[in-house]
């Protein structure tokens, strides 16, 4: 079953909260527990993040995800190396989790992930509330375009990873990376 991601990435300005809000969603084949388990492995982020960001998780494996867990990353934004730390601020397996930036390139970043069973699989919803230094102008010039590319890539890559035939080789495409990482 081949499908294209609904890459309608919506970004709007929330006047009441004075932040931008990004939202997108994709339906992935598989039950909610299987899909949530994929997202429970922090190292899967490296697989669903575009290479041009040079995304690297710095926290040693294995990472046990739970409320309060801190994860350190390094990325390059327009060629500039940036350290980023997030905290898992809510953890409700297999329904939802939230990560928020503790330190990084945004003035505020809170990413809500939800997982709902729907006919044909699991609906994965991303909702991000963020503020950027430089406000609306910087968002318009740089951030919004980058986020649209990043989340579009993420949706396409998730579909590619989950849309493999249901034989033993397809399970390998979404197998946890943390075990292989901890052996390094």
pLDDT in tens, 74-108: 999 989 999 999 999 999 999 999 999 999 999 99
What pLDDT does 17 receive?
Answer: 82
Domain definitions of the chain by residue range: 10-182
Query: Is 155 in contact with 7 (CB distance < 8 Å)?
Result: yes
91 vs 77: CA distance, rounded Å: 28
Which range has the worst mean pLDDT, 35-44, 70-79, 159-168?
Answer: 159-168
List, in sequence order, the alpha helices (H) in the chain: 32-39, 135-138, 144-162, 168-173, 178-182
Between 50 and 172, the more confident residue is: 50
What pLDDT does 164 receive?
Answer: 61
Say whether domain 10-182 belongs to CATH 3.30.530.20.
yes
Encode pLDDT of 19-34 as tens digits.
999 999 999 999 999 9
Answer yes or no: is pLDDT of 176 > 70: no
What pLDDT does 183 receive?
Answer: 38
DSSP 49: S
Query: Is 58 in contact with 181 (CB distance < 8 Å)?
Result: no
97 vs 94: CA distance, rounded Å: 9
Share of the chain above pLDDT 70, in %: 85
Share of the chain above pLDDT 90, in %: 81
What pLDDT does 15 receive?
Answer: 86
109 vs 118: CA distance, rounded Å: 28
What pLDDT does 8 receive?
Answer: 78
Mean pLDDT of the chain: 88
């Amino acid at each position: 079953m081949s499908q294209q991601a609904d890459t309608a990435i919506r970004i709007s300005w929330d006047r009441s909260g004075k932040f931008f809000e990004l939202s997108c969603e994709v339906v992935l084949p598989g039950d909610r527990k299987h899909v949530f388990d994929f997202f429970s492995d922090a190292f899967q982020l490296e697989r669903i993040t575009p290479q041009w960001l040079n995304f690297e998780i710095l926290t040693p494996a294995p990472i046990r995800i739970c409320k309060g867990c801190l994860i350190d990353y390094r990325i390059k934004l327009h060629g500039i190396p940036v350290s980023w730390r997030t905290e898992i601020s809510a953890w409700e397996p297999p329904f939802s989790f939230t990560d928020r930036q503790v330190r990084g390139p945004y003035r505020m970043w809170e990413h809500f992930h939800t997982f709902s069973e729907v006919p044909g699989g699991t609906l994965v919803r991303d909702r991000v509330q963020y503020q950027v230094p430089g406000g609306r102008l910087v968002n318009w010039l740089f951030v919004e375009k980058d986020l649209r590319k990043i989340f579009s890539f993420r949706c396409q890559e998730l579909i590619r990873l989950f849309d493999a035939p249901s034989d033993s080789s397809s399970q390998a495409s979404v197998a946890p990376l943390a075990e292989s990482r901890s052996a390094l």
